[in-house]
A and B are shown apart, each in its own frame.
Chain A
Amino acid sequence: MERARVALAQVRDALRFARATLAAAAFDRFLWRLAWRNVWRNPRRTGIVVTAVAVGIAGVILSMAINFGMVLQMVETAISTELGHVQVRARGFRDDPGLGLRLDDGGRAGAAILESLPQVEAWAPRIHSQGLLSSTRASAGVRVLAIDPPRESGITSLAGSITEGAYLDGDARRILVGEALAERLHVGVGGKLVLSASDANGDLAAEAFRVAGLFRTASLELDRTTVYLRLPEAQELLALGDAVSELVAVTERREAIPAVREALATRLVGDVEVSTWRELAPLLVYMVDSFEQMAWIVYAAVFIAMAFGIANVLLMAVFERTREIGVVRSIGMSAPRVVAAVVLESLCLTLFGLLVGFALAVGLVFSLRDGIDLTAFARGLNALGVGTTVVPIVRAQDFTTPTVVATVTAILSSLWPALRAARALPARALRHV
């Protein structure tokens, strides 16, 4: 009982001490002035710490900006090359993407709803299939995407990815092939290819096509495996009538996706399912989420190292000023004020480093505004759906998070030296040489 009472009294004293320290730190402009000037008593040492903090912060912000730029590009690539924002498909198509699961009405019910929604910017029908594409010299298994070319232009950036030849125009029996696949099949624009596939009845069907154009996207996987042809020709080849595999829509803003999804899911009848890009690409969503977690790991690593540096500098400063601390304690400066003075010095040091770091980061990001050329890593990046030029993107949280974390780091790392300073007996401190 007695022990508990003593412990309670100690906690109460500690809280009173903390409150007095906070009050001094918040309202005592003399302490702020003292802290700021103390920071500059040893300019070389301060310069080293400020440089370390600034370089650390700038490095963190830049790496976050580059990583975010890459992640964003991956998402944008996935959305703009295939996924769109919302898709309507026959139920079960995601797990078994064959011709057996299709929208037999040609997607007209879904299209009518999409047309009525003001948030929808564009929509397009597609057919998904598999086939064997053969040239005179080689063959390759391919993913066949049949599209409505004008509508598809509103959904994906395929038309803009054509590097040679033309987008699917009015000519019949034309096909778009990725550069990587064309190279493998030894075929160029105007070359002849035969596409063989199982039709909706399970019979083998084949048709000859001429290469209308070659494309290159940020996704190497897409360029290697996917071919595009026009919807009616695929419907005829695959004996689908006017059925399609899916409807893809993009919204004006990402925030509108849930509303569009909800409208489709509520109003569509029959065995269909409506999915957003997040549901269709869980791996991508996982990577985006992992990026946020990785950011915290980077912050933790940088700020823990920073905390030791700051604590070391402050310990040195407190040791050097032992006699001075004795003097201010003698003239009546309370222990909470001494703690506040050291903590404020740490805050001044860290926040100054932070500002320099922000300026450095802004300068670096600005100088890289046209993107970083990562051609040397093209294969790896393309496999991830990232182009060879990555534009760093900074967000408000890239500045607010380090500010909060740095402030907490500055306070925590200064507590030990600060309490050491406050605990010094004035008489003993005055004897310090």
Chain B
Amino acid sequence: MAILEAHAVSKVYETRGVATRALDRVDLTLEEGEFTVLHGPSGCGKTTLLNLLGALDDPSEGRVTLDGRDLAECSAAERSELRLHKLGFVFQAYNLIPVFTARENVEFVMELQGVPSAERKARTDAILAEVGLAELAEKRPLEMSGGQQQRVAVARAIVGRPELVLADEPTANLDSATAGQLLDLMEELNREHGVTFLFSTHDPLVIGKARRRVRLRDGRVESDGPGA
């Protein structure tokens, strides 16, 4: 079943009167349980497409539907709700809240979702154990390594039980060993919990793990086919 669909999506940025077409009539459908990668050279529109699919930005043309709902017809508040309940995000620079501990960063999403306190705690303990950070639950981001922070970010992205996790260059700041471990973790979450992942990356390690590869070039889909 398709959980996300992009129909002829284009994005044009205007800077001082100069229009730049970052995406040009892109079509993409993501099915439940996929482990898909968007790849291509820098500036090909990977992050732009991820932002549009994640209801973080509006397309200049075309339409994006998430779980059957046209994002263009959603208010800002409805988009927030969609992001909160249907999507998870993992960013290149981890982007954890620095004043919160690992536990609080993870719990925060559930707090926003209105999950009761006892359940929040149980789910946080479970997910931190699953990403191998039970011991570091009370540490703040600056007290953890990059790999550990990215694991917390993954835990934060999936703890709210989203239908889709959008990961923008999640391994870009990690060494290859740590990146490999993180990918194994996400693959396991995909396999065992059915979480759908969509990566944007030019890391061959990620591309190599993906079961579907979508290659972008100059804002267009150049190829779309099965991976590993």
Instruction: Spell out A's residues near B (CB within 8 Å).
Output: 28, 30, 33-34, 37-38, 40-41, 323-324, 327-335, 337, 425-428, 430
Contact = CB atoms under 8 A, between A and B. Distances in A.
A37 B97 CA distance: 11
Contact of A332 (B57, B83, B98, B107): B83
Contact of B111 (A30, A324, A327, A330): A30
A166 B107 CA distance: 81
A167 B87 CA distance: 91
A331 B76 contact: no
A332 B56 contact: no
A330 B56 contact: yes
B111 A334 contact: no
B51, B99, B100 — which one has the most chain A CB atoms within 10 A of its CB? B99
B112 A427 contact: no
Given A41-B99, A324-B97, A430-B91, A331 B56 contact: no
Given A28-B111, A30-B111, A427-B51, A328 B83 contact: no
Given A38-B99, A327-B95, A327-B97, 20 more contacts: A30-B104, A30-B111, A41-B99, A329-B56, A330-B54, A330-B91, A331-B83, A331-B84, A331-B112, A331-B156, A332-B81, A332-B83, A332-B84, A332-B87, A332-B112, A333-B112, A337-B112, A426-B56, A427-B56, A430-B56
A334 B89 CA distance: 16
A33 B101 CA distance: 12
B108 interface: yes
A327 B99 contact: no
Interface of B: 51, 54, 56-57, 76-77, 80-81, 83-85, 87-89, 91, 95, 97-100, 104, 107-109, 111-113, 156-157, 160
Contacts of B56: 329-330, 425-427, 430
Contacts of A324: 95, 97-98
Contacts of A37: 99-100
Contact of B57 (A41, A334, A427): A427
B87 to A, nearest CB: 8
Given A327-B91, A427-B56, A333 B99 contact: no
A41 B89 CA distance: 25
Contacts of A38: 99
A334 B77 contact: yes
Given A324-B95, A427-B51, A427-B57, A335 B112 contact: no
